[in-house]
Chain A
């Protein structure tokens, strides 16, 4: 049996009472977070007992489990409590889930990103459940005067079989509060899991389908004002002057003023990316009035000069100038002639290419992308002399809290951050400059304020997936063995290369290089950063190399993985070749790879990122001349799957997102001005373009859970590209694919 060191804070072992709202800390006054649903066996208890930061047990046995991390659709608000409840050994139907506020003393790692929430939370969540179960058992042993070793539990009931004594958790909760926490607790064996590994419905689903307030944009407070900001229309410009006379005179307008969301001398942290630091704020009584007044503002902008910014992850130059997509492309094409950083070199790649019987070289590109979360950026702030209350959707509360603290000079302990459900995150809500803006505005107008971005603000305010380019070269010998592999890749303003990923480790002569180009366009994490491009390039290229070698694309990859498993080149390879091969084999089997169906064109792809493995077989058909994805078979190895149905939902979503982004995703600039401003110009995948069937399979193993939010996404792009090649005979190297496909179908008519 596994065990875990306990690290719960003694301070949190407090008895709280429901009447005093004890510890319920609801983010919304009107959100009855703790009302049991009619299906639940219990009514509200008279008293709650806080067993640790995660668990409160009511005197009647109802259990409240806190979910510490923000929920953005990845469904951890269900999965986290499932893990706790399993170790606690309670009946899921008696569990109520509550979103915890930011509390760095009680919880660790209260943020989401990098598909790490479940992976990193796995031990502490289990420990929380097991510790609570331990103190309940000890309390019973003491009360009954029996050895605690003879006590068992089942579904929220404590038993002493020998004496026939039994008690519900609720009856022992009061006594359990004063039981000391052990140094170590025993954890369940995987075979004893009752909740983990079973599908449980999203705990917020009922609220979602009935339109109850859950999102930041829904938050309200008496006397609250609405604020919007105006930012420069182009990257490369900054605020020069504002004439707000007309805007001020508009109905419902309370104030108009320039704001600075970050001071010039502020030492930024990693997530403090912010394109525009000087903005104009318009504050009024209602959204529509503020939107109208914004149009009446006369703002002058001026070019900024080169500047650089130092953060904990290095210094970045922001060159002056108005950049265009065209220029970015040319710049990347030229730059690749110059090698900048050699990241990894195995063997003698130069010689391998000289001796090759066949050399294949291909260049892949992808544009900037906007995250386009459906809920536009927004935040509520109420800054008073006593401190700041900040309510809204964000991914990294504990980081941005520090930014607000520095900006307003409010100590951290006087900042209360409450996390609402995120209407999508995808990385965008890691960069919460809008929370700072809301706080600065509230501080200035001395009133509670909700800052709302319009869709246009959201799309044009910076934080994009970088634009990338990668050149791949492969050397084959006369027997079609892959003897040399070379990747040279980079991006604006970030690199796209992971030097130690497959096929590194599977080729004797290997070279990975990268470079970056400066830009004044701000970028940030976007679902599976880097992987979302490099997987597309690498897996499309391997398809072409397999073809040149006359091999089946799955067999070709499996051969390389076999090599990487048995006699790996180098010792830095950051993937497990066996698990990697495992998902390919599973996808092969489940898709009946090799079976030919008339009119169905198939592509395969696989990738490893965020500690998980995913492979896709994608079936493409043509309907009325249009390409349509008929089916995608996904095989995923993310270790133990906590909640299979919602993990399946995530994989389906990642697949739809991958197809959509590969086909249509592009964010472009002309003279610094974003050319995409709303969904009329930025094409999003819609239901007619979505795959018809997505068949998701998980590898069954007993490995601790790894990432799920991102890994299913990167392989989709190349599976689509490879299927499109089978269908059209044309390889697509530049994303998005839709323009080339449209041209192709025009030329066929």
Chain B
């Protein structure tokens, strides 16, 4: 066990956990931020995607000990009122079916748009390919990313 000081969604947080604990479980079990989802645990599905200093990463493969002072953003902290352009576009296109993958999809999409405000179809597909949606909402996701790009 070891103490880690983290910056999560702009707030200082302290946890006392096994240093190997993936951020996914630090968020879900210790910080009560359950918006970040567990899908596979092996960086294959993208359900656990969060931002580390603005870059999309798979939190299931990121031990808490490797985070250091980098800023963590989760779906709960993407915007104050749920009005990030990506979230708004998701509502406009009514993307979710079961909804389980969508936090991860939104976190991947918002990181993409932050670095590439006007992605082409191929760039969207390349960025989003690591996020599985079992319900098959891929077309709406793509459309929503384009809407978000246009409205950002």
Contact = CB atoms under 8 A, between A and B. Distances in A.
Interface string A370-402: 001111100000000000000000000000000
Interface residues of A, number: 65
B70 interface: no
Interface string B57-82: 00000000000000000111011001
B18 A204 contact: no
A686 interface: yes
Contacts of A421: 98-99
Contacts of B30: 286
B23 to A, nearest CB: 11
A175 to B, nearest CB: 38
B135 A288 contact: no
Contact of B134 (A214, A226, A424, A652): A424
A678 B96 contact: no
B97 A375 contact: no
Interface string B18-36: 1011100100111011111
27 contacts: A75-B97, A205-B96, A208-B96, A209-B75, A209-B87, A209-B91, A209-B103, A210-B87, A211-B75, A215-B100, A226-B29, A287-B25, A288-B20, A292-B18, A374-B133, A421-B99, A423-B100, A424-B134, A652-B139, A653-B136, A678-B40, A678-B42, A679-B132, A685-B136, A686-B132, A686-B138, A687-B141
A688 B125 contact: yes
Contacts of A275: none
Interface stretch (A116-124, A484-492, A608-616, A643-651): A643-651
Contacts of A213: 34-35
Contacts of A652: 136-137, 139-140
Interface of A: 72-75, 201-202, 204-206, 208-215, 217-218, 220, 226, 251, 286-289, 292, 372-376, 421-426, 452, 454-455, 645-646, 649-650, 652-657, 660, 678-680, 684-688, 690-694
B117 interface: no
B132 A205 contact: no
Contacts of A650: 97
Given A287-B29, A455-B41, A685-B136, A653 B87 contact: no
A685 B139 CA distance: 13
Given A288-B22, A424-B134, A202 B75 contact: no
A687 B134 contact: no
B53 interface: no
A217 B99 CA distance: 13
B151 to A, nearest CB: 15
Given A204-B99, A210-B87, A217-B38, A691 B139 contact: yes
Contacts of B75: 209-211
Nearest to B121: A692
Given A209-B82, A655-B136, A679-B132, A251 B1 contact: yes
Given A423-B100, A686-B129, A656 B34 contact: no
Contacts of A211: 33-36, 74-76, 103
B141 A373 contact: no
A36 to B, nearest CB: 15
A174 B39 CA distance: 47
